Amino acid sequence: MSSTPTPSMSSRLGALTQRLGLSGRSARLLLERAAALQLPFGPVTLPPANIWWLSGPRLQLLPELPRSALSGPVQDDKSAAHAALVELIEQDTEQLEAFDLRLIDGLAGGKDNPPACASFEDYLAGLEQRQVRIISYKDFVKAISQALPRFALREPIHLLQASWHGNRVFWNGEQQVEAFANAIAYARRRGLEVTLPAALTRYRISPSGLARLEANYHVLAMPLQSWSHAPFMSLLVDSGIPYARLSLMSAADAAEFLLLPKSSAEASALGEGLLLAGAPDICVFLRQL
């Protein structure tokens, strides 16, 4: 692909330059060079619905996101991006006197990057070797007590929900997830009603937080190859453009989020150019969740 824009692209760039009011030559050049970049952009999608809480974007981390989670050369730029991100997710916790454990169909614990499973039954069927087997109510009590040692004392459990996971309810436990899944699957299969007090924490995208983020930042999904792609890094670093980076996706090879403040003409121009080059707009993605 030539670095010289095609006639149709030139007209689009001209219209965009006029709309953004990019009067400076450096900003216009940034826009043109960014639009001509060839990077392996791909769509940002949610994985198929499955039992693992940490699958997909880990947006639940944002309300308590440490400042150190963002990378970038300038502390003030990272701090400003951090302030915008922590307002993106709303959360609340409801105390429930009696929650039917059969409604739990997700796990917050388990091994890193487990295979996607649509249900506890699929998860258990996929285990190479089962550590827990339940054939009686006594076995059920033993299994669930492995995961919940104070089950007999009706100690409250902690549950999680997030709008990007639909209505799925996750058990926020780290240990003995096989025993827990097996016990819940047994209770469902036998029609065994088992209730416990629960604290249910719900996460959802804040409409006002998303609107502020979109108004102030380009938030783009950049493939990992971007950070070793010389033409892109030259645009980002050599011009001293303000930016921040954040990794929130669960897969090891997932794209990172690049935040470019729209208050900077050069950063805004780079963001618009990257959009033209095919970079996914994370704000558009979040609005669809």
State the distance between the two ends of the chain, measured CA to CA, in whole angstroms.
34
Residues 95 and 192 in one domain: yes
Q: Is residue 12 part of a domain?
A: no
User: Across residues 201-213, what is the average pLDDT?
Assistant: 97
Which residue among 186, 205, 224 closes a domain? 205
Same domain, yes or no, for 200 and 242?
no
Q: What pLDDT does residue 47 have?
A: 83
199 shares a domain with 131? yes
> Residue 89 pLDDT more than 70?
yes
Q: Are residues 94 and 199 in the same domain?
A: yes
Clarify whether residues 278 and 211 are in a common domain: yes
Give the pLDDT score at 86: 96
161 within some domain: yes
Q: Which amino acid is at 218?
A: H
Is 17 a member of any domain? no
Write out the residue range of the structural domain in which residue 268 sits. 31-47+69-88+207-287
DSSP string, 114-180: PPP-SSHHHHHHT-SS-S----SHHHHHHHHHHH-TTGGGT--EEEEEEGGGTT--EE---S-HHHH
Residues 110 and 179 occupy one common structural domain: yes
Per the structure, the count of domains in the chain is: 2
Per the DSSP assignment, residues forming a β-bridge with 245 are 71, 258
Q: Which residues have C-beta within 8 Å of that of residue 63, sequence separation ≥ 6?
A: 86, 89, 91, 203
Determine, yes or no, domain membership for 52.
no
Q: Is the pLDDT of residue 253 over 90?
A: no
102 and 82 together in one domain: no
Q: For the chain, give the mean pLDDT.
A: 89
136/201 same-domain check: yes
* pLDDT, mean of residues 73-96: 96
pLDDT of residue 154: 96
pLDDT at 202 over 80: yes
- Report residue 90's pLDDT band, with 50, 70 and 90 as the boundaries: very high
Q: In this structure, is residue 172 part of a structural domain?
A: yes
Residues 172, 278, single domain; the answer is no
Phi, psi of 226 (to 5 degrees): -60, -40
The better pLDDT of the pair 6, 237 is held by 237
What is the rounded average pLDDT of the residues 219-226?
94
Residue 1 has pLDDT above 50, yes or no: no
pLDDT in tens, 128-183: 767 888 999 999 999 999 999 999 999 999 999 999 999 999 999 988 999 999 99
Position 28 scores a pLDDT of 84
Residue that finishes a domain, picked among 174, 205, 236: 205
Residue 101 counted as domain residue? yes
Residue 2: band (very low, low, confident or very high) from pLDDT cuts 50, 70, 90: very low
What pLDDT does 239 receive? 81
| Residues above pLDDT 70, as percent of the chain | 89
The domain boundary, picked from 158, 173, 205, lies at 205
Q: Per residue in 11-69, pLDDT tens?
A: 555 555 555 555 556 788 899 999 999 999 999 888 888 999 988 789 999 999 999 99
pLDDT for position 7: 55
Residue 196 domain flag = yes
Q: How confident is the model at residue 114 (pLDDT cuts 50, 70, 90)?
A: confident
Burial 138-176 (b: 16+ CB within 10 A, else e): eebeebbebbbeebeeeeebebbbbebbeebbbbbbeeb
> Could you tell me if residue 279 is left (phi over 0), alpha (psi between -120 and 50 degrees) or otherwise beta?
beta
